[in-house]
């Protein structure tokens, strides 16, 4: 059975950029709903129950067709949110000690943090409806900014996410209403660049 991973910070830890009420509902209700529906989809498929959600969404073709959409949506929801909670933290800038390699990679690809943010924001605002915006290492090893729809995971495309932001309205509506741009600006203040750096090193290790 899949379970919501423990959050290693309090709901108010990201204030004022992400408000406590949003964190409480997003983590406690939305993420839980993906878990419940994923477990329900897998109920009669014991051979899939030992696979991690990451393994399932990385190889959707191997999931029986009758539950493939459910695994894509709810497994993807579980994978994406589990990933998202881990890359959020205040006060871990790209200049911090643990972020050396990712800083080099960002500056190598986008010239500066500011230009990266500009490009990332453009993609995040361009995701129509519900979805996510990611910085990934794609299957040719390139650093790319990509949007995905709904709960589609970059893993399904063979890309490895380094950081990502949920742009479903449930992620920001309480505090930012329709102003996704303000939410993205706020998100830039809570990226745990040390964790993003770890993600990059993991990808490089293979």
- Judged by CB, which is closer to Mn ion: 152, or 166? 166
Tell the smallest beta-carbon distance from residue 9 to Mn ion (Å). 17
Stretch that binds Mn ion, among 89-97, 113-121, 168-176, 177-185 (CB under 5 A): 168-176
State yes or no: residue 166 binds Mn ion (CB under 5 A).
yes
State yes or no: residue 198 binds Mn ion (CB under 5 A).
no
Tell the smallest beta-carbon distance from residue 139 to Mn ion (Å). 25
- Judged by CB, which is closer to Mn ion: 22, or 197? 22
Return d(Cα 39, Cα 96) in angstroms, integer.
Answer: 39
Minimal CB distance residue for Mn ion:
166
Stretch that binds Mn ion, among 15-23, 59-67, 165-173, 174-182 (CB under 5 A): 165-173
Q: Do the Cβ atoms of 54 and 154 come closer than 8 Å? A: no
Which two tokens mark 177?
Answer: 């209403």
């Amino acid at each position: 059975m899949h379970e919501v991973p423990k959050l290693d910070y309090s709901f108010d830890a990201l204030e004022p950029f992400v408000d406590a009420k949003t964190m409480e509902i997003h983590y406690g209700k939305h993420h839980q709903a993906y878990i419940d529906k994923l477990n329900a989809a897998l109920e009669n498929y014991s051979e899939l129950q030992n696979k991690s959600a990451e393994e399932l969404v990385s190889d959707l073709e191997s999931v029986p067709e009758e539950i493939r959409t459910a695994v894509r949506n709810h497994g993807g929801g579980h994978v994406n949110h589990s990933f998202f909670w881990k890359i959020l933290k205040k006060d871990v800038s790209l200049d911090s000690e643990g972020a050396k390699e990712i800083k080099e990679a960002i500056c190598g690809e986008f010239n500066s943090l500011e230009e990266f943010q500009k490009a990332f924001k453009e993609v995040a605002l361009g995701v129509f409806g519900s979805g996510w915006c990611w910085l990934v290492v794609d299957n040719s090893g390139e650093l790319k900014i990509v949007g995905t729809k709904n709960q589609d995971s970059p893993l399904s495309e063979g890309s490895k996410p380094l950081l990502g932001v949920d742009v479903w309205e449930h992620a920001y509506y309480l505090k930012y209403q329709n102003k996704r741009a303000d939410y993205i600006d706020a998100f830039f203040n809570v990226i745990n660049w040390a964790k993003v750096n770890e993600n990059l090193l993991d990808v490089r290790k293979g």
